[in-house]
Structure 1
Amino acid sequence: MVPFHGGCSRRYGFFTDSYDLFVISLITKLLGRIYYQVPGSSSPGSLPDGISVAVSGVAFAGTFLGQIFFGCLGDKLGRKRVYGLTLLIMTICSIASSLSFGKDPKTVMVTLCFFRFWLGFGIGGDYPLSATIMFEYANKRTRGAFIASVFAMQGVGILAAGGVSLLVSYLFEIEFPSRAYILDGAASTVPQADYVWRIILMVGALPALLTYYWRMKMPETARYTALVAKNAEQAALDMNKEIFTEVDEKRFALTICQSENWFSRFVFSFNFGPNYPGKT
């Protein structure tokens, strides 16, 4: 058994984590076309290798550090308090990434990398806390199913990132049509294209804001309140206020399949995605 809004907050949190982490690989080519186009060149512009690696990987560096920092902080201050903080960081940095300052390529890339790092830092805190909170809420019989259902949302987040990117690009192409690069290189990237990648990044803040509502309604986990805060009475009161739902065997099987699908997409994204070093 697990609280309904508690389960939703973790699932949507992992959905947001996945969207924000992996959406960057879908816009790097557009960034190259906008900011690194060489007039008269026979091929479209692309990000220099060093900048491409920085833009794509800086969030993962932040994630690594965030897991360590917020994992320890959650043990000291409580899961709920730190859980809300990580979501605020994710929301602010997701919006700030889309509003990267200036039009000069260097300025835009530096500010984008700066906010992407702190976005990853917040996401890194969401990873261990989501798993820990779900583990502490669920009983032994349903624990595996609920943890699997949380991690399965990463696959949904990756699909959502691709869907949003396609939709925004399609709408802009209808409103601001462009010519093929081979026909007219200068007209192949319209000025409005600069809004496309910014909107795609900003959309990542929407599920984070929705998730914040559920996280604020969620009480501290009973195990933390009883064993760390040493307040068994409050822990019992918190648990009595929660709404529980049963998870049957069919749902368990479904979440396991979803988690396997997430794992395969995760491996594919790292090894064969647009920024794979061996790709030409």
Structure 2
Amino acid sequence: AASRQALERAGKTAADVDAVIVACSNLQRPYPAVSIEVQDALGVEGFAYDMNVACSSATFGLQAAVNAVENGAARAVLVVSPEICSAHLNFRDRDSHFIFGDACTAILVERESDVAEGQGFSVVSTRLRTRFSNNIRNNFGFLNRADESGIGKPDKLFVQQGRKVFKEVSPLVAETIQNQLSGLGLKATYLSRMWLHQANLNMNLLIARKLLGRDPQEQEAPVILDEYANTSSAGSIIAFHQYHEDLQSGDLGVICSFGAGYSIGSVVVRRR
């Protein structure tokens, strides 16, 4: 449904798409790739593959889609993020089970020449960053049966050390976005909107404050946590979907997701 809605909004059909990327942190299986099943269901020719970079999957997928379009591998790429977070939760863990929700998002990335005048957003820049950490982890996998003593243990579900994540990831995200903007000759104050990963309100406020040098206004860093909860990599895309219609041609914004890995994906866009 999300994929068909994305195509409809773009005025495109499956025949216009050359690739499908399923980018999410909660894949149903290792193989065959879920993306190929989605490709088949939509009737898309070309190629498809899965990508998992935890909560940053959607923005990493966007960067891969941009690369495929820029190098001519595809005319248009559909990036789909089906996040079924409830399946990896430990409902006995009172510190985490209540903060997640399930959702699916889809974004079509295509050549600018194929987009109608004044429609959509141009991708100005992408920036990816990773740094290894065990502070968010899920050890579930097909090798679990090699050690029967570990089967059914809490580490085979979502586990995180929230305070450490907050302390370590927040400045890393702000630094990544700031460096990206500086490389473009831009200041954070030029941004009309920041669609940040929807995991923690205080984390987003801290990141925005570090970038802007002041508390952000509500519309500058919109929050959808109260309605959708944490939907992993889909969160920043949901925020983008719900809070972009008021932007004017030329307005800048950044879509940024971050999480386990650690991983950070940042995409600067401009309203066409």
TM range (shorter): under 0.3
TM-score normalised by L of structure 1: 0.24
TM-score normalised by L of structure 2: 0.25
Q: Which has the larger radius of gyration?
A: 1
Greater length-normalized contact order (CA 8 Å, ≥ 6 residues apart): 1
Which structure has greater strand proportion?
2
